[in-house]
Amino acid sequence: MGKSLLVLTFVVALGSSLARAQQTGACSNCDQGDSRVKAIAEEFAADIHAQNAMSCNVCHAGGGRGTEANRISAIPRERIPELCGSCHADADRIKKFNPSLHTDQLAQYRTSVHGIKFANGDTKAAVCTDCHGVHRMRPASDPGSSVHPLNVAATCQRCHSDAEYMKPYHVATDQYAGYSDSVHHEAMVAGGDLSAPTCTTCHGSHGAVPPGVKSVASVCGTCHVLQARYFEESPHKHIFAMMNIASCVTCHSSHRIKHPDDTFVGTGPKAVCGNCHTPDEPAGETANGIHRRFQRLEADMAGAKSLLDRAEHSGMDVSEAQLELDQAGDALTKARVTLHTATLSRVTEDVNVGAGIVAKAHQAGEAALRERGRRRKSVLIPLIAIVALLVSLGAYLREIERGQLTTTGAKR
C-alpha cells in the first residue's frame, strides 16, 4: 500500500512537472524569435498560477502550439477585473487550489472607489494587475509580492504619489510621505511587525475606500480597541459628531501618525488639546491636569529607577522592586489610554495606581542603599585592625632591622 502510494505520488508529480513545463514553455518555444514573449514566459515561471500548472492560455484564451499561437494577444484593460474574477469569484474552482482563499475580491472591487470609477469608464482607475502585477503574481504572504504587507504602501504610492496621474481626482498625493514618517510604518519596517497597519489595513484592499468621518473611529478601533471605547465614553464623541469632524484623526492626523508623547496632552505648544481649548477654560484645565499627572508619574518612575539602578550597581539585589516598577509603567500606559475618556478623575485613578507602585519601589531602593551603607561601615573595624597590624609590623621590622642590615651578608 505504502509502496503503491509512493509510486503514485511520483507519477503524479512527474506528470504535473512535465505538463507545466510543456504549457509554460509553449509560448516561448513557438516564439523563439520574439525575445519579449520569451522574457514574459520566463517571468511567468515564477508566477503562482504557473506554479499551479496554469499556462498562458488560461488568461490569453486560444493560446497553443503552431498556428494557434497566433491567437494570443494582449488582454484589453477593461476586461481584466472580469477575467480575473472568472476564476477568483468561482468558489468551486478556487478551492481546488487554495480552499482558504477568499472569492469575494471582484464583488468587493465593484464597491471600491477604483471599481466604481472603472465601471464608469475610467480606465485609469486601478485594476487587479496594477497592484498584483501581470506575469509574476505571488501570494501576499511572499515577501517578493507587490501586495506583501511590507510592499503594499510602495505599491499604492505608485499611483497615489504621482501628482500628475492623480490630478483629475483632486486628492492629496502626500499619503505615502506621511505614512513613511508614521509610527505604523516604523512598526512595520523597523520593528518587522507585519501586523502593523499599512494602506489596506485602514482602507481595505479590494474594496478600497477612504473611511468616512463616521467610520474613522471604527477603523482605528479595530486595533486600538480601548482607545476607541473610551472615546465613545468621552464628551468629545457628541461634540465631534455635532461638528461633523472625524474622531481619531483630528488629534492624531491620518497618515503621518506619530507616537504620541505627553506633550500631546494639555494646552502647551505641541499639545493638540490646545487646538480647541484654552488653558483657563475647564476643559483646558482638565487637559493640563492630565498632562501634569503624567509628567509627575514619569518623573517619579525615572527617579525610582535611577535609585534602584544605583542600588543594583552597588551589588544590592533589587530585582523584585525593579520588576514591580515595570508595573508602574503599565499603569502609566493604561492612564494614557484612559486619557481618551477626557475625564480627569478616571485618569487620576490609573495614575495613582502607578504612583503607589513607584512609592514602594522608591522605599525598596532607599532600603537597599541604607543596607549598602551598613555594609560599608561593617568593614571599618577589620580595616582598622589591618592598618593597626600593618603599623605594628612596620614598627617591629624597623626595630629588628635597626643595626642588623649589613654589607657583605645578612647579620643573624
According to DSSP, residue 127 is labeled -
Q: Is 108 in the site for other proteins (CB under 8 A)?
A: no
| Amino acid letter for position 123 | T
Cβ neighbours of 101 (radius 10 Å): 12
Spatial contact of 83 and 58, defined as CB atoms under 8 Å apart: no
Q: Is 387 in the site for other proteins (CB under 8 A)?
A: yes
Burial class (CB in 10 A: 0-12, 13-18, 19+), 183: middle
Name the 3-class secondary structure at 101.
Answer: coil
Name the residue among 197, 195, 161 with its Cα closest to residue 176.
Answer: 161
Which of 313, 345, 402, 403 is in the footprint of other proteins by CB under 8 A? 313
Helix orientation angle between 319-338 and 225-233, rounded to the nearest 10 degrees: 50
With contacts defined by CB under 8 A, how many residues of the chain interact with other proteins? 32
Q: Is 412 in the site for other proteins (CB under 8 A)?
A: yes
Spatial contact of 77 and 127, defined as CB atoms under 8 Å apart: yes
- Residue 325 CB, nearest approach to other proteins (Å): 14
Q: What are the grid coordinates assigned to 194, written together?
A: 507585519
User: Distance between the two ends of the chain, CA-based, in angstroms?
Assistant: 102
Q: Is 396 in the site for other proteins (CB under 8 A)?
A: yes
Q: Is 400 in the site for other proteins (CB under 8 A)?
A: yes
According to DSSP, residue 317 is labeled -
Which of 11, 21, 241, 379 is in the footprint of other proteins by CB under 8 A? 379
Which of 9, 141, 306, 319 is in the footprint of other proteins by CB under 8 A? 319
Q: What are the grid coordinates assigned to 20, written together?
A: 507545466
- Residue 306 CB, nearest approach to other proteins (Å): 16
Segment 349 to 378, residues that bind other proteins, using CB under 8 A: 372, 375-376, 378
Task: Give alpha helix (H) positions in 244-379.
Answer: 248-252, 282-313, 319-338, 344-378
Give the distance from CA 265 to its chain's centroid.
24
- Residue 391 CB, nearest approach to other proteins (Å): 9
CB nearer other proteins, residue 67 or residue 407:
407
Which of 242, 315, 345, 402 is in the footprint of other proteins by CB under 8 A? 315
Q: Is 395 in the site for other proteins (CB under 8 A)?
A: no
- Residue 327 CB, nearest approach to other proteins (Å): 17
Handedness of CA 37, 42, 47, 53 (dihedral sign): positive
Q: Is 309 in the site for other proteins (CB under 8 A)?
A: no
Q: Is 214 in the site for other proteins (CB under 8 A)?
A: no
Q: Is 192 in the site for other proteins (CB under 8 A)?
A: no
CB nearer other proteins, residue 10 or residue 396:
396
Which of 43, 186, 312, 324 is in the footprint of other proteins by CB under 8 A? 312
Q: Is 405 in the site for other proteins (CB under 8 A)?
A: yes
Binding-site ranges for other proteins (CB under 8 A):
312-317, 319, 372, 375-376, 378-379, 382-383, 386-387, 389-390, 393-394, 396-397, 400-401, 404-410, 412
